[in-house]
A and B are shown apart, each in its own frame.
Chain A
Amino acid sequence: MKYTDEFRDPIKAKSLLAAIETQVAHTGATTDKPLHIMEICGGHTHAIFRYGLDKLTPDAIEFIHGPGCPVCVLPMSRVDDCLDIAERPNVIFTTFGDAMRVPGTRGSLIQAKARGADIRMVYSPLDALELARRHPDKEVVFFGLGFETTMPSTALTLQQAARESRTNFSLFCNHILVPPPIKALLDDPDMALDGFVGPGHVSMVIGTAPYDFIARDYGKPLVVAGFEPLDLLQAVLMVVTQIAEGRAEIENQYARIVPKDGNPAALAAIADVYTPRDAFDWRGLGEIDKSGVKIRPAYAAFDAEEKFGVGYGAGKTSGREMALPEMEGCLCGEVVKGKLKPWACPKFGAECTPDTPLGALMVSSEGACAAYHLYADTLTV
């Protein structure tokens, strides 16, 4: 069990929890018929478990863990494509550390590295570009993944590469967008979501307008939140207050970082380099319309899909043609959707652990399965 003593301001935490309790009572929700509040961002999932917020808040609130962990929703076919590129002669394949252990059908990047492929972890896409400068005789590829938070970094890196007229640098683009899967989940008749805690750092880039449809078309509240525990509690209070008062609005708890209109320079770089794909495949969620971006033709020379003829670059037009079945008995898909809790998966904690991940949700500390596993002591109810 977790206690509020760990909070920076325990008194404030207690008063927020009391206010949440009052508002939840006004909604009429009960332990048997709880409010389903989805935290979209994997960073929030991690913080909820770290601080046991799911235990501190009333039982009439159930947190549903959203798809906002980029490595968790990366399809196996894309990991296979990474290996395909990385194992070619003369290639230096660079990636963020988080992605090293995501399993594909032929294993992960870390296993490919052990087999001899030149795969290097980098801190920044700028470091991958620097490697291309240092090794003009090699093809340096950066594995670009992540939501709108990381898109400006790869877009600005490609702009820089273009300014330098680099010919040995390319990006394997796997960037995905937050709003489309939320729409897909809202359209899913099996999902009954009452409100959302919106991602803080994605919203710092895109602002709050891209979420307007959630309130307008679906009548659900969303509150953009910071990642500190007090931020999260305050955001949960704002969501339940809206529900109690019968409102559905997009509110911003994290206004100190998130401007309403996002970051104009970041958005300009994204718009210059990327354009939406017709559809992109998500692990567990399947293909979702306009949910990913690709590199614009003006930057085609830096597009690893084109350069190496992999993925959509291999002439495939649909993720369905690339979709691969998940491993036998894994329930990653249901967990990503928030339909099942990780412990309901027969592999959880047995064959699938953070050291031996079968599914991507066990790889990143932002994945729901890894978070449950890591903070299992808070789960003894």
Chain B
Amino acid sequence: MCLGIPGQVVEITDAASMMGMVDVSGVRRAVNLACVAGDGPLEEVIGHWVLVHVGFAMSRIDPEEAAATLKALEDLGEAMAEIEAIRGADRMMEGETP
């Protein structure tokens, strides 16, 4: 539960709530960016790779680190479950068990 997964910030959707869209292995998800925001405007994080943990970007990572982390998660058998949870988040909210 504590591993998270890397993703790339693609756009800011609601700066007041610190929310942006992050691409995680091709799946898009609204993610809170409060923990990776700098002092400047939030737009500055667009394009950056971040470690996404239960819908929150927790750390900035460089692209090589992101690739290595994703590979490690795949090897551990954790990546698919995480991506499926993100992809299925909406259906799960409506009560479906994946």
Contacts and interface: CB of A to CB of B under 8 A. Distances in A.
Contacts of B97: 113, 121
B97 to A, nearest CB: 6
Q: Which of B1, B53, B89, B97 has the most CB of A within 10 A?
A: B1
Interface string B33-54: 0111100000000000001011
A123 B3 contact: no
B2 A150 contact: yes
Contacts of A122: 89, 92-93
A269 B53 CA distance: 16
Contact of B58 (A71, A120, A205, A366): A205
B26 interface: no
Given A43-B3, A121-B98, A122-B93, A201 B58 contact: yes
A263 B58 contact: yes
A256 B51 CA distance: 12
Contacts of A43: 2-3
A204 to B, nearest CB: 5
B15 interface: no
Nearest to A42: B2
A366 B77 CA distance: 12
B68 A228 contact: yes
Contacts of B72: 8, 227-229
A334 to B, nearest CB: 24
B7 interface: no
Nearest to B97: A121
Interface of B (DSSP majority class): mixed
A227 B4 CA distance: 11
A181 to B, nearest CB: 15
Interface residues of B, number: 38
Interface of A, helix, strand, loop or mixed by DSSP:
helix
Given A123-B92, A131-B93, A149-B2, A269 B34 contact: yes
Nearest to A267: B35
Given A123-B92, A199-B2, A202-B2, A6 B56 contact: no
Given A201-B3, A228-B68, A265-B37, A153 B92 contact: no
B43 to A, nearest CB: 17
A6 B71 CA distance: 12
Contacts of A120: 92-95
A27 interface: no
A160 interface: yes
A323 interface: no
A152 B37 contact: no
B34 A96 contact: no
A126 interface: yes
A4 interface: no
Contacts of B36: 265
A96 to B, nearest CB: 6
A256 B65 contact: yes
Contact of A47 (B68, B76, B88, B93): B76
A221 interface: no
B10 interface: no
14 contacts: A50-B75, A71-B1, A120-B92, A122-B93, A126-B56, A149-B53, A152-B56, A156-B56, A163-B17, A204-B51, A204-B59, A227-B72, A227-B76, A257-B51
List 3 A-B pairs, minimum CB-CB distance, nearest first: A124-B55, A123-B89, A228-B72
Interface of A: 6, 8, 41-43, 46-47, 50, 70-71, 96-98, 113, 118, 120-127, 130-131, 146-147, 149-150, 152-153, 156, 160, 163, 199, 201-202, 204-205, 227-229, 256-257, 263, 265-266, 269, 364, 366
Given A123-B85, A257-B59, 13 more contacts: A46-B76, A50-B76, A71-B1, A98-B1, A122-B89, A123-B55, A126-B56, A127-B93, A149-B53, A199-B2, A201-B58, A228-B69, A257-B65
